[in-house]
Amino acid sequence: MKFIECIHCQKRYPSNRKLEEAALRRKVRCTDCGESFPIVVYEVKTEENLPVGPEPFFLA
């Protein structure tokens, strides 16, 4: 399972193709803490600690 993680509060969001394509050129804003962070896609092989919750939103 692929996910991105806020570098400020460690909230995890599920990754999707849209986020992966934007990873090289954009930042997103965390819906939990409100801070912006660059997109880095991580991958876990186990199903424990899977990310849940809404997607972060892109900065304009």
pTM over the 0.85 mark? no
What is the predicted pLDDT for the residue at 48?
60
Number of domains in the chain: 1
What is the predicted pLDDT for the residue at 58?
60
> With a cut of 50, which residues of the chain have pLDDT below it?
60
> Which residues constitute the domain of residue 22?
2-58
Spatial neighbors of 9 by CB under 8 A, at least 6 apart, are 30, 32, 33, 35
What is the predicted pLDDT for the residue at 60?
39
What is the predicted pLDDT for the residue at 54?
67
What is the predicted pLDDT for the residue at 13?
87
